[in-house]
Amino acid sequence: MASLAEKRIVLGITGGIAAYKSAELVRRLIDQGAVVQVVMTEAAKAFIAPLTLQALSGRPVRDSLLDPSAESGMGHIEIARWADQIIVAPASADFIARLEAGMASDLLTTVCLATSAPIALAPAMNQGMWNKPVTQRNIDRLAADGVELLGPASGAQACGDVGPGRMLEPGQIMDHLTSSGGVRVLDGTKVTITAGPTWEPLDPVRALSNHSSGKMGYAVATAAAAAGATVTLVSGPTALTPPAGIQYRPVQSAEEMLAAVEKGIEDCDVFIGVAAVADYRPAQTAASKIKKDAESVMLELIRNPDILARVAQSPKRPFTVGFAAETDQAIANARNKLKRKGLDLIAVNQVNETNNPFGSEENHLVLISKTDEIDLGRHSKSALAEHLILEIAHRYHEQHSA
């Protein structure tokens, strides 16, 4: 993990009940050796007292844009130049909207506009506000500008609603901070990833398959390799070029994919099943092309092996992550799959008119464990893969250090 010793961090705090978590975040940053400057909005002060944060950080809290005592009224430039990293936690819907619009209406937005330091946001808001299209547009535009998104998590909210919008816990934010900047969070681990569709042959020229392009799985393989893992990519038929620096095993059918996975599973630390494996295959494959002679043809299908379940139940079981594409009741069905197959994590996306990931450069994923769920949002598949690998690394290391 990356050291935060002597790193100069501006912690922005906006208005919201999650501001109480910011005190714990300040303490953890100081414990890691960081130098923390807290910048609060006026709304934030209604939820937590500046004196508390001053006592924890050891530095006066800054909250005024027009402060004559701060470098002759140019304090925002001073802070913007001083910062090595800016993190806003919690980041309210209002703050996110103002930042995306390029407004400089208070000290925190002005510092963010003036700085060249990386900016990370930990959103916190009601699930309805988070799900609003305008909020999602604001988030996507900020991400396109290089702003890092941390969370939000999903669960019970102070207003009584349940859904995405909870600020990540301070420990999770710390994991992201210490894992950023190209740090190899999976250094020394062996990761096997499946990707793409499988083809189940009907005859020498036809097959049963699906719409998977393999883009998500290849992005995950790229992110895992960048994180320091030794990666084996078992891929069904795609038009993609395998990422550099990995072991590539091309396959066609589900049975071939299972054989390739089982070949190295005993020496695997983390398994990520991204492939869209066909549930069924033809009971018989014709030796020659099936001619269009009859008005109708009956096909007998038999069930394919469950690769994900077999990995999760193997004697030397790796940390096992699955994927699920659902058209109805996505979260409930994914939770059932997580439990039924004995997975550690599952990433689920709803396939509908507003989110059809097949062949797309973007996706919307929710990451689910036995105890929580995190809405990773809708972003490019490469950005989602990087976020996913950080979450997997955090939970893998946590499990193995217990």
Catalytic residues: 159
* Residue 324 token pair: 């699920």
What amino acid occupies position 73?
Answer: G
* Residue 212 token pair: 């998977």
Please spell the DSSP secondary structure of 250-302, one letter per residue.
E--SHHHHHHHHHHHGGG-SEEEE-SB--SEEESS--SSPPPS-SS-----EE
* Residue 94 token pair: 């209002």
Rounded distance between C-alpha atoms, residue 214 and residue 363, angstroms:
13
Q: Using alpha carbons only, how large is the chain's radius of gyration in Å?
A: 24
> Cα dist. 179→184, 277, 286, 391 in Å?
8, 32, 52, 10
**27 φ/ψ angles, rounded to the nearest 5 degrees:** -60, -45
Question: Is the peptide bond prior to 152 cis by the omega test (within 30 degrees of 0)?
Answer: yes
Rounded distance between C-alpha atoms, residue 224 and residue 349, angstroms:
20
Beta bridge partners, 231, equal 191
Rounded distance between C-alpha atoms, residue 206 and residue 287, angstroms:
11
Candidates 128, 125, 129; CA nearest to 151 is 125
